[in-house]
Amino acid sequence: MGSQGGFGQSKEFLDLVKSIGEARSKSEEDRIILREIETLKRRIVEPDIPKRKMKEYIIRLVYVEMLGHDASFGYIHAVKMTHDDNLLLKRTGYLAVTLFLNEDHDLIILIVNTIQKDLKSDNYLVVCAALNAVCRLINEETIPAVLPQVVELLGHQKEAVRKKAIMALHRFYQKSPSSVSHLISNFRKKLCDNDPGVMGATLCPLFDLITIDVKSFKDLVVSFVSILKQVTERRLPKSYDYHQMPAPFIQIKLLKILALLGNGDKHASGQMYTVIGDLMRKCDASTNIGNAVLYECICCVSSIYPNTKLLEAAAEIISKFLKSDNHNLKYMGIDALGRLIKINPDVAEQHQLAVIDCLEDPDDTLKRKTFELLHKMTKSSNVEVIVNRMIDYMISVNDFHYKTEIASRCVELAEQYAPSNHWFILTMNKVFEHAGDLVDIKVAHNLMRLIAEGFGEDDDAADSQLRSSAVESYLRIVTEPKLPSAFLQVICWVLGEYGTADGNYSASYITGKICDVAEAYSSDETVKAYAITALMKIYAFEIAAGRKLDILTEFQSLIEELAASHSTDLQQRAYELQAVVCLDAHAVECIMPSDASCEDIEIDITLPFLNSYVQQSLQNGAQPYIPEDARTGALSVSSFSNQEHRETSSHGLKFEAYEMPKPPVPSRPPPVSISTDLVPVPEPSYSRETHVSPPVLSASSSGSSELKLRLDGVQKKWGRPTYSSSPTSSSGVSPSPANGASKVEPAAPSTSRPRETYKDSKKAEVDPEKQKLAASLFGGASKSEKRASSTSHKASKGSSHSTGTSSVSKSSVPSTSEVKSPPQPLPDLLDLGEPTVSTIVPSADPFMQLEGLLDHDESGSTGSNAALDSTAKVPDIVSLYSELQVSGHDSSSTISPLSSNGSNNKNLKRTVSGGSPQGMKGPNLKEALEKDALVRQMGVNPTTQNPNLFKDLFG
């Protein structure tokens, strides 16, 4: 009955497999499987099913689940099957439960008991099956239930059991290191097991243990070395040979362990040199596995304490890998090169052309690996070429995950090694243009900061030149369709801040552009907010400069539209803009000082200038302020009447009519106010109030109007020494005494010569394009060399080596110092993410600053500043104001910066997070499947005859 199909399975199952194979579409397949599930559901609960029939049902369930359908109704039957005495059924049951259940499933509890029993079984196959299930199904809580038995099995007579017991213990260690911490000595013991398979299996947990704690295993170095020696000398049984290699997998594992143990340990490394050297010499490089061992040797050599001989051998192997036609080997070669250049950056030079070939290879994996390598070997001399290449590739890539990665790499490299600010801005523009929605919004803020702060030196001319070039480039880019939101924000901000600064462009031209942006990206509120703030700045600068405003019609309509916007943030900005436009020059000058984005906004949350006023009010019988926490605390304990009393006295909902204003406030003699004429304030009493203590206020306002750059406490990462500096100087190159050149290009004079000769010799057969690229990528001083030769004498290249080098060294000195000097004083661009955010962001974020400045004049700066500073304080301020009986209008303007700031942040977040899922579109798999299904003729085969799987294997 069960063997009707001739496969030990029933005809039903055969038919199922066949019909699924013939299914023409995914939906047809789904229908078939759903029918099968119905059948199984019915059958599996029938009483008295023969055991072998049941076994088949379970296998069918596994099959159904592999095709992606829910088979949970049958889990319990699989669990039941593990109880069976019959080995075949038991194994099937275990197989099914390990595939069906995870370690936290409810049914596990039913299995633990069976596992315990089976671990004690006489039949070693039952034990093995149970151990297999242990690995998969035992979680942290159930480990103690089986641990004793598993430990016991370490001494089992069958090596297969010992092996699996070790693996099970390893699994326990991975799940809960503390549960087996007392058993670590067992792993050490098992290393001496007389079965090589057990020893090999022990290397897995030891590798994990050593990764975590190297020190306590240093004593094993000798053992590992001797094992490796024995393996390479073919002391293991022949059955461990693989493609004529003695136990290569064990060799690889040992090399990995030695790499960990020898890392930074001269003594331990010394013990390994001989065996690794022998291995590298003897290893057969004609097979894949031989190359795997060789690659592992290189990894090991580059990890342990450097040994010149081994490094040379490694470099030789790498060059073989790179020259190979096999893509796998090229890939490994690139990877190995990446490891080796950490120790010796010069290695890369001899392989420059091979690397460039890999860069142009059609294989994406190889290309990406090569970019990884380039990323590792970037220095300030080749950053331009590398980043440009990366950007080109980034534009061509569709995979969003990788696009994000490579974009962030470009940003990282550009921030770290940028030769000039101008280049940095251009590079950033490109990155933003093509991957703006994928990069962190902080990068945009950094860019704005850089443009605003410039070189951080007193070189105003250079700063303004930088800004004009930024403005110029943005005006060009802004007309392109579909720019990412983050980039538009930068563009709007820069145009608003510096668009009219150099006088090249009229205000109406710039505002026109900004209006276009706001119109074109009308669905993006953040961009619109940036745009409207930019417009406000431009008009403010115009008014302050005394020029007549040239209001465009599209501007008018934009403002009208935004004033009616659903977003309160946009509404507020629109109204503020309308208000600013109506002010006179002096007032505007104070609200919107030109080029003031780098100023600090000083915040004094204690509001000391109010002290005298509060004092006065208290004297006049006002209720003292109760902090909010005290208030709520009082509420919870006090009686109801008390509460009522408090409510009326402090703040809260009032059910009675408002009292008359207290007499002292309006009757106060108006103090000598310097700034009452700044803003036409509707309530004169209020403006007087805010200026009750002029000295304090003027101090804080002068602090904010003073032009002061926040550079203290900001680390300078620009132009920091690259990794290449220390290794080269240690490898015997004397650092050049020229200004800073030794730091950036230490190898310039010494390495240029061999490279030059190499190039000369190669010149004949290599594409000059490629060579140029190679030179710019690899040559420490090639750039300066090129410059020198093009500017001065071209003959220097062809001349004898001595003159060649001398001219190179001469020319490299000025150019490197030129490269070096600008980056040094640059402010740190990466610091925004650090805890200083709250203090730095206000000076970087144009919105916040704008709001701060506006409120500064309207409400005496302190309210808004306090609001900016901390959310928690705001309710207090509100209550304070309500105590002071300021009208609702004022208190709302106090909160506004915070609320707009909050919504703004939300917007930013949304735009950042919204970018990636949108683009997750790949080729349609279903279509592919349908198309492929059409091709199929019968069963699971694409053609009627069965193709031989192994034609490439065994000829």
Partner 1 sequence: MIKAVMVMNTQGKPRLAKFYDYQPVEKQQELIRSVFTVLSSRAENVSNFMEAESIFGPDSRLVYKHYATLYFVFVFDSSENELAMLDLIQVFVETLDKCFKNVCELDIVFNYSKMQTVLDEIIFGGQVLETSSTEVMKAVEEISKLEAASNAITLVPAKYASGWNRR
Subset of residues 915 to 944 that bind partner 1, contact rule: CB under 8 A: 922-923, 925, 928-929, 932-933, 936, 939-942
Least gap, CB of 169 to partner 1 (angstroms): 10
Amino acid at 947: P
Find the part of the chain contacting partner 1 (CB under 8 A) among 159-167, 572-580, 659-667, 865-873.
Answer: 159-167
| Residue 311 within binding range of partner 1, rule CB under 8 A | no
Pick from 39, 176, 229, 249 the residue near partner 1 by CB under 8 A. 249
Q: How far apart are CA 479 and CA 491, in angstroms?
A: 11
Residue 886: both structure tokens together: 């300021």
Cβ distance to partner 1 smaller for residue 174 or 871: 174
| Residue 11 within binding range of partner 1, rule CB under 8 A | no
Cβ distance to partner 1 smaller for residue 215 or 951: 951
Instruction: Pinpoint the alpha helices (H) of 626-680.
Output: 628-637, 640-649, 664-667
| Residue 4 within binding range of partner 1, rule CB under 8 A | no
Cβ distance to partner 1 smaller for residue 669 or 947: 947
CA atoms within 13 A on the CB side of 324: 21
Q: Decide: 697 and 609 in contact? Cβ < 8 Å.
A: yes
Q: Decide: 84 and 58 in contact? Cβ < 8 Å.
A: no
Least gap, CB of 911 to partner 1 (angstroms): 22
Cβ distance to partner 1 smaller for residue 171 or 755: 171
Cβ distance to partner 1 smaller for residue 164 or 651: 164
Within a 10 A sphere around the Cβ of 775, how many other Cβ atoms?
19
Residue with tokens 């462009």: 505
Least gap, CB of 216 to partner 1 (angstroms): 19
Q: Decide: 878 and 898 in contact? Cβ < 8 Å.
A: no
**Residue 287 carries which DSSP code?**
S
Least gap, CB of 916 to partner 1 (angstroms): 11
Q: How far apart are CA 802 and CA 809, in angstroms?
A: 11
| Residue 153 within binding range of partner 1, rule CB under 8 A | no
Q: Please, what's the b/e burial string for 451-478 (b: 16 or more CB within 10 A of its CB; e: otherwise)?
A: bbbbbbeeeeebbeebbbbbbebbbebb
Pick from 12, 17, 550, 685 the residue near partner 1 by CB under 8 A. 17
**Residue 68 carries which DSSP code?**
T
Cβ distance to partner 1 smaller for residue 69 or 810: 69
Contacts to partner 1 from residues 43-102, by CB under 8 A: 52, 55, 59, 62-63, 65-70, 86-89, 91-92, 95, 99, 102
Least gap, CB of 72 to partner 1 (angstroms): 9
Pick from 74, 197, 454, 746 the residue near partner 1 by CB under 8 A. 197
Contacts to partner 1 from residues 629-648, by CB under 8 A: none
| Residue 620 within binding range of partner 1, rule CB under 8 A | no
| Residue 248 within binding range of partner 1, rule CB under 8 A | yes
| Residue 32 within binding range of partner 1, rule CB under 8 A | no
> x-or-dash pattern for partner 1, window 850-889, by CB under 8 A?
----------------------------------------
Q: Decide: 340 and 302 in contact? Cβ < 8 Å.
A: yes
Measured at the alpha carbon of residue 517, what is the angle toward residues 516 and 521, in degrees to the nearest 5?
120
Pick from 36, 265, 296, 542 the residue near partner 1 by CB under 8 A. 296
Residue with tokens 């040379």: 312
Least gap, CB of 252 to partner 1 (angstroms): 5
CA atoms within 13 A on the CB side of 115: 30
Least gap, CB of 296 to partner 1 (angstroms): 6
Within a 10 A sphere around the Cβ of 787, how many other Cβ atoms?
16
Least gap, CB of 188 to partner 1 (angstroms): 18
Measured at the alpha carbon of residue 458, what is the angle toward residues 456 and 463, in degrees to the nearest 5?
65
Least gap, CB of 111 to partner 1 (angstroms): 15
Contacts to partner 1 from residues 347-386, by CB under 8 A: 362-366, 368
Pick from 37, 78, 259, 292 the residue near partner 1 by CB under 8 A. 292
Least gap, CB of 40 to partner 1 (angstroms): 16
In sequence order, the 6+-apart residues with CB closer than 8 A to the CB of 826 are 421, 450, 455, 456, 716, 718, 719
First to last CA, the chain: 39
Cβ distance to partner 1 smaller for residue 296 or 463: 296
Least gap, CB of 9 to partner 1 (angstroms): 7
Pick from 77, 330, 467, 856 the residue near partner 1 by CB under 8 A. 330
Which uninterrupted H or E stretch holds 25?
none
Q: Over the Cα atoms of the chain, what is R_g?
A: 37
Contacts to partner 1 from residues 743-782, by CB under 8 A: none
> x-or-dash pattern for partner 1, window 382-421, by CB under 8 A?
-----------------xxxx-------------------
| Residue 109 within binding range of partner 1, rule CB under 8 A | no
Cβ distance to partner 1 smaller for residue 362 or 695: 362
Find the part of the chain contacting partner 1 (CB under 8 A) among 160-168, 183-191, 476-484, 719-727.
Answer: 160-168
Contacts to partner 1 from residues 795-824, by CB under 8 A: none
| Residue 953 within binding range of partner 1, rule CB under 8 A | yes
| Residue 204 within binding range of partner 1, rule CB under 8 A | yes
Contacts to partner 1 from residues 470-509, by CB under 8 A: none
Residue 608: both structure tokens together: 């000391």
Mapped onto helix, strand or coil, the DSSP state of residue 245 is strand
| Residue 301 within binding range of partner 1, rule CB under 8 A | no
Q: Decide: 381 and 372 in contact? Cβ < 8 Å.
A: no
Q: How far apart are CA 428 and CA 410, in angstroms?
A: 9
Least gap, CB of 8 to partner 1 (angstroms): 5
Cβ distance to partner 1 smaller for residue 24 or 229: 24
Least gap, CB of 495 to partner 1 (angstroms): 36
Q: Please list the residues that pair with 242 across neighbouring strands.
A: 245
The length of the chain in residues reads 955
Cβ distance to partner 1 smaller for residue 122 or 480: 122
Count of residues in contact with partner 1, rule CB under 8 A: 103
Longest dimension (CA), the chain: 110
Burial (Cβ within 10 Å: 0-12, 13-18, ≥19) of residue 658: exposed
Within a 10 A sphere around the Cβ of 350, how many other Cβ atoms?
16
Phi, psi at 652, each rounded to 5°: 145, -170
| Residue 1 within binding range of partner 1, rule CB under 8 A | no
Pick from 164, 467, 537, 755 the residue near partner 1 by CB under 8 A. 164
Mapped onto helix, strand or coil, the DSSP state of residue 799 is coil
**Residue 482 carries which DSSP code?**
S
Contacts to partner 1 from residues 446-475, by CB under 8 A: none
Pick from 111, 201, 276, 413 the residue near partner 1 by CB under 8 A. 201
| Residue 512 within binding range of partner 1, rule CB under 8 A | no
Spatial CA neighbour of 915 closest among 309, 297, 482: 482
| Residue 246 within binding range of partner 1, rule CB under 8 A | no
Residue 662: both structure tokens together: 């207290």
Within a 10 A sphere around the Cβ of 728, how many other Cβ atoms?
23
Measured at the alpha carbon of residue 505, what is the angle toward residues 500 and 508, in degrees to the nearest 5?
85
Phi, psi at 923, each rounded to 5°: -60, 145
Phi, psi at 441, each rounded to 5°: -65, -25
| Residue 2 within binding range of partner 1, rule CB under 8 A | yes
Find the part of the chain contacting partner 1 (CB under 8 A) among 330-338, 620-628, 749-757, 882-890.
Answer: 330-338
